[in-house]
Amino acid sequence: MLLDEDPGTLIHHTIGNFNIHPDKQAITRINDSLSTLQQSRDLRIREAESAMRKLSRHLNSLSTQHEEAVAVHDSGKHAAEIVELDTKKFRIAKAASELEIESERLDSELEMLKERLVDLESQGLEGDETTRREREADDATILRLKIFRSLGVDIEPDEAGNFNRAVIRNSRKGDVHVVNIDPKFSRFFYANYFWSTMQG
């Protein structure tokens, strides 16, 4: 029977059954993803800067061609070429502007990721204090519910998450008792009532 075993041994086995290996693997995957994302963003920024330099050279080349066209061709042809060059210039300037905006967005996103990484590293594998407390409270609640269930008592929460109803099963007699837990009665009262119902 469960109560015949040493509580210290039960607690030790229970703690041993908590598996944090997947959490460690998840943190490792997150760090790897952040590193890969950082490298990808650096590469995209370098490519954007290279494209901007290429576009700038192309713009200078077109400007030179434009100047030569102005010197050589007649005014009618020159006007048509000016329109064409202006169109190209507008497209190039627009592309350069879009690349610059994208570069700024990537820089901003990179800074946010760096801050997030610093937060994650400062929290460690266990998370921040609030997360640790919530996890410990959840673990304690789960352990209590498992112990109750092993004794034949199911504690049921209401819609707000408060445990205010118990179903007690007496396997020897085949009885089932449903108890609504009222806060005006003490825990000691309910403990004695549950025990006597299970033993009765």
Amino acid at site 76: G
Q: In degrees rounded to 5, what are phi and psi of residue 134?
A: -60, -40
Cα-atom radius of gyration of the chain, to the nearest Å?
A: 36
69-to-12, 63, 76, 85, 90 alpha-carbon distances in Å: 88, 10, 12, 10, 18
- H or E stretch covering 175: strand 175-180
pTM over 0.75: no
pLDDT digits (tens, 9 = 90+) for 73-83: 666 676 788 88
**What's the confidence (pLDDT) of residue 82?**
85
Amino acid at site 86: D
Largest Cα–Cα separation, the chain:
114
11-to-4, 102, 152, 157, 164 alpha-carbon distances in Å: 14, 55, 19, 24, 26
pLDDT digits (tens, 9 = 90+) for 20-76: 677 778 889 999 999 999 999 999 999 999 999 999 999 999 999 888 877 776 666
Can you tell me the mean pLDDT for 143-161? 74
**What's the confidence (pLDDT) of residue 3?**
57
What's the CATH number of domain 137-199, 3.20.20.70, 2.60.40.10, 1.10.10.60, 3.30.160.430? 3.30.160.430
- Residue holding tokens 């707000």? 160
Give which of 111, 125, 122, 113 is closest to 33, Cα–Cα: 113
Cross-strand bridge partners of residue 169: 176
